[in-house]
Amino acid sequence: RGARKLIPGQSAQDVAQHFAIVLDDELISTPYIDFIQNPNGIDASNVARSDQPTGRALIVVDARGENSIVVVPGANSQVALRRGLPPSRVVLAQLEIPIATVIAAFTAAREAGALTVLNPAPAAPLPDELLDELLANCNVVVPNESELRLLGGVDELVRRCGSAALVVTRGGDGV
């Protein structure tokens, strides 16, 4: 899912960087890295290899067009900013990696003046203090309707987001 969000953001002036951990298996990791680098030109130097299986996210869509995401974190649970965050104008993250890593990346990004965009998928109930710390470093939060409910609803999320923009996607009904 993460690489799928990188490719549309790639432009002639900007080089998208992808942070991930994939299974250290040439049959899986090499084609994955080749896919995001060629022909898309995404910098994959921060894609690490692990002895853990590559993370999986299964998206299940119900009859109303609403989706649920079932996550098996695998190697994604090991994603960390080991070398810091490279200079960036926009940092996009979702919650398939450790929330501490997202908070660290967003904190560094905001300190450097970058725009931060959070897709809180897959949503899960979070302790209030952790959610507040995460949202304090967001410029834009993009939940779907299910994630919005899990995060407390529109009024609660607007209150917690402060000056961040809130964009709710609506499944089969569009944005």
pLDDT at 38: 57
Q: How far apart are CA 40 and CA 116, in angstroms?
A: 22
What count of Cα atoms within 13 Å lies in the side-chain half-sphere of residue 144?
18
By the 10 Å C-beta count (0-12 exposed, 13-18 middle, 19+ buried), 20 is classed as buried
**Mind listing the pLDDT tens digit of every residue in the chain (175 residues)?**
445 444 444 444 444 454 555 545 555 566 666 666 655 556 666 666 777 777 777 888 888 877 777 888 887 888 887 777 777 788 888 888 889 999 999 999 999 999 999 999 888 888 999 999 999 999 999 998 888 998 888 899 888 988 889 999 876 666 5
∠ CA 145-141-60, rounded to 5°: 40
Q: How far apart are CA 96 and CA 144, in angstroms?
A: 15
This prediction's pTM = 0.74
Q: How far apart are CA 85 and CA 108, in angstroms?
A: 7
Identify the CA nearest to 80 among candidates 24, 21, 37: 21
Q: How far apart are CA 167 and CA 141, in angstroms?
A: 6
Q: How far apart are CA 122 and CA 51, in angstroms?
A: 24
pLDDT at 121: 85
pLDDT at 53: 77
Q: How far apart are CA 20 and CA 22, in angstroms?
A: 6
Residues 32 and 57: beta-carbon distance below 8 Å: no
